[in-house]
């Protein structure tokens, strides 16, 4: 009854309070709320950095000189270059800021394509069944069996053909990551569609004459995608690491096309032996922080979606309220 009342209360709330992350933030308490808020703050900082990169970065991602002349190579942090310069003469701070735009663009594009393809194929496969279901399951299992990074490398080579333009590089990296993620969404949605097509509301829709497409994309889809926000946030962090891995191995976007943290880390390897730490620490820290932020959001949403954890929080809350009530009663009795 408590869950039903909470659900009814959420339905009466304004639309902005029912948004995916906002709704979970309102329901969260204690450690879950701290993790969620921390993750949101980190993600928002990187998102703002990506949106306002031209205003934040003092130089372009491929800029090697200004009005005062060429930038020094492997220059230490200074007033002009607050995070120093790389072995190629690029400003590290500017590369990190512009790299946030590249990373977020690739992640958003990859996740959107993965969700659209995976959900559609999983829904059709699970609801219709038959030979189409068998073929799609075999293909998804075959793709899922490959090492994800190796598969992304192969797809990136096939798509980009060794070219590393800005648009082509972003699309190639996004599609490479998409191929890895589609089977995950396919499996989740297919399993839910197989379960839901035997439910009473689906049979009722058939009886009143609803078309197959309407049943699939209106009734089944709405109930089969409730767990997708959790998978989406966790896959976003994996997409960031996959993009960085592709750049680190030399299959990503070139330095003159866009800034990419994985490529900068690769170029910084030779600097570590010379004690030049700034060329690798800052892009590496950007990767770690962005992955941490997305992971914190995903893990918090996962905890909030777990009924057992919600039950524990409600039990603790009732215990706290009862304890406070008893204390107040004893105090009044003492007076």
User: What's the pLDDT tens digit per position in 155-164?
Assistant: 877 776 655 5
Chain centroid offset of residue 74 CA: 33
Contacts of 80 (CB under 8 A, 6+ apart): 68
Which tens digit of pLDDT belongs to each residue from 202-247?
777 777 877 777 777 777 877 777 777 778 887 888 888 888 888 8
The answer to the question of residue 333 being in a domain is no
Residue 245 is predicted with a pLDDT of 87
Q: H or E element: which one contains 179?
A: helix 166-196
Which tens digit of pLDDT belongs to each residue from 259-312?
889 888 888 888 877 788 888 899 999 999 999 998 888 777 776 665 555 544
The answer to the question of residue 99 being in a domain is yes
**Can you tell me the mean pLDDT for 16-27?**
62
Structure tokens at 312: 């524990």
- Confidence category of residue 196, pLDDT binned at 50, 70, 90: confident
**Domain of 141?**
2-327
Residue 2 is predicted with a pLDDT of 41
The answer to the question of residue 128 being in a domain is yes
Which tens digit of pLDDT belongs to each residue from 88-109?
888 999 999 999 998 898 888 8
Q: Greater confidence, 23 or 211?
A: 211
The answer to the question of residue 332 being in a domain is no
Domains identified in the chain, total number: 1
Rounded to whole angstroms, how far apart are CA atoms 282 and 289?
Answer: 10
Is the pLDDT at 8 greater than 70, yes or no? Answer: no
The answer to the question of residue 210 being in a domain is yes
Residue 7 is predicted with a pLDDT of 46
Is the pLDDT at 43 greater than 80, yes or no? Answer: yes
The alpha carbon dihedral of 127, 129, 134, 135 has a sign of: negative
Structure tokens at 127: 């609801």
Residue 96 is predicted with a pLDDT of 93
Contacts of 40 (CB under 8 A, 6+ apart): 21, 25, 293, 297
- Confidence category of residue 12, pLDDT binned at 50, 70, 90: low
Residue 93 is predicted with a pLDDT of 92
Is the pLDDT at 47 greater than 90, yes or no? Answer: yes
Residue 210 is predicted with a pLDDT of 74
Are 268 and 279 in contact by the 8 Å Cβ rule? The answer is yes
The answer to the question of residue 334 being in a domain is no
Residue 217 is predicted with a pLDDT of 76
Residue 183 is predicted with a pLDDT of 87
The answer to the question of residue 140 being in a domain is yes
Is the pLDDT at 319 greater than 80, yes or no? Answer: no
Q: How many CB atoms lie within 10 A of CB 104?
A: 19
Residue 51 is predicted with a pLDDT of 92
Of all residues in the chain, the percent with pLDDT exceeding 70 is 77
The answer to the question of residue 225 being in a domain is yes
Contacts of 231 (CB under 8 A, 6+ apart): 184, 185, 188
Q: Greater confidence, 149 or 58?
A: 58
Residue 248 is predicted with a pLDDT of 87
CATH number at residue 143: 1.10.3720.10
- This prediction has a pTM of 0.78
Range of lowest pLDDT (1-10, 174-183, 275-284): 1-10
**What's the chain's average pLDDT?**
78
């Amino acid at each position: 009854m408590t869950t039903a009342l909470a659900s009814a209360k959420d339905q009466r709330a304004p639309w902005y309070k029912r948004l995916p992350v906002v709704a979970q933030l309102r329901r969260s308490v204690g450690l879950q709320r701290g993790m969620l808020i921390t993750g949101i703050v980190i993600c928002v900082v990187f998102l703002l950095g990506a949106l306002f990169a031209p205003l934040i970065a003092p130089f372009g991602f491929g800029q090697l000189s200004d009005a005062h002349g060429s930038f020094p190579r492997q220059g230490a942090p200074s007033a002009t270059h607050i995070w120093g310069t790389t072995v190629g003469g690029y400003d590290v701070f500017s590369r990190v800021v512009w790299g946030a735009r590249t990373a977020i663009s690739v992640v958003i594009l990859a996740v959107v394509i993965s969700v659209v393809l995976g959900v559609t194929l999983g829904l059709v496969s699970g609801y219709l069944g038959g030979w189409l279901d068998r073929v799609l399951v075999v293909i998804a299992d075959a793709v899922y069996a490959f090492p994800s990074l190796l598969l992304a490398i192969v797809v990136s080579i096939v798509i980009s053909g060794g070219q590393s333009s800005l648009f082509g590089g972003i699309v190639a990296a996004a599609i490479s990551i998409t191929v890895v993620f589609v089977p995950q969404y396919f499996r989740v949605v297919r399993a839910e569609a197989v379960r839901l097509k035997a439910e009473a509301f689906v049979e009722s829709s058939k009886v009143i004459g609803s078309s197959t497409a309407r049943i699939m994309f209106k009734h089944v889809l709405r109930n089969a995608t409730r767990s997708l926000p959790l998978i989406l946030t966790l896959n976003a962090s994996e997409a960031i690491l996959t993009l960085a891995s592709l750049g680190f191995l030399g299959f990503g976007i070139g330095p003159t096309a866009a800034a990419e943290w994985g490529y900068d880390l690769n170029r910084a390897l030779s600097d570590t032996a010379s004690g030049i730490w700034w060329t690798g620490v800052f892009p590496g820290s950007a990767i770690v922080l962005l992955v941490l932020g997305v992971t914190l959001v995903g893990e918090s949403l996962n905890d909030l979606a777990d009924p057992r954890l919600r039950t524990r929080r409600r039990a603790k809350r009732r215990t706290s309220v009862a304890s406070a009530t008893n204390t107040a009663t004893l105090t009044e009795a003492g007076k």
